[in-house]
Amino acid sequence: MRGAAYSGLLSVKVPSHTPLLDEACPPLQRALASGRRFPITSREILLAGSDGDRIFSASDALAKLACQIRRPIDRAATLEALAELGVDRVLGLGPGHALAEMMQAHSPSIRCYAANGFHTVDGLRDWVLFE
């Protein structure tokens, strides 16, 4: 294991992933539920980014996603679950490249890329379909 490369104060404007956002979970879940949903097929494996738990239904996904804003995220559990499932590609959806870099450091044999690293939606789609 490596230690921190540097440390410093962060300018935090939104208390994400803390109980201070408890009241935001229900309206966020309702907003997410009003969107378009697709069934999760038996050949698809979806994991919650917050804790690595497997998601079996769209309603489970909505609840997990909405509640991520009020709980700390256990990235290590998610990375471990991906490796244990034999995943060979990971697409990080968060801002920046931090998630892809964490996955690459955890499991160097898994190809990782950050979504915002693509210049076009077509480039992102092609990576998902053909990589």
Q: Is residue 4 part of a domain?
A: no
pLDDT band at 1 (very low <50, low <70, confident <90, very high): low
Look up the domain containing 37 and give its range. 15-74
Examine the domain organization and report whether 24 and 66 are in the same domain: yes
> In the chain, pLDDT over 90 holds for what percent of residues?
18
Examine the domain organization and report whether 32 and 62 are in the same domain: yes
Please write the tens of the pLDDT for every residue from 33-59.
Answer: 898 877 887 777 888 878 888 888 888
Last-in-domain residue among 34, 51, 74: 74
> In the chain, pLDDT over 70 holds for what percent of residues?
98
Task: Count how many domains the chain has.
Answer: 2
Q: Is the pTM of this model over 0.85?
A: no
Tokens matching residue 33? 């539920």
Please write the tens of the pLDDT for every residue from 74-93.
Answer: 888 989 998 999 988 888 87
Tell me if 54 sits within 8 A of 47, measured CB to CB: yes
Kind and range of the H or E element at 76?
helix 75-84
Give dist(CA 14, CA 8) in Å, integer: 18
Other CB atoms closer than 10 Å to residue 108's CB: what's the count?
Answer: 9
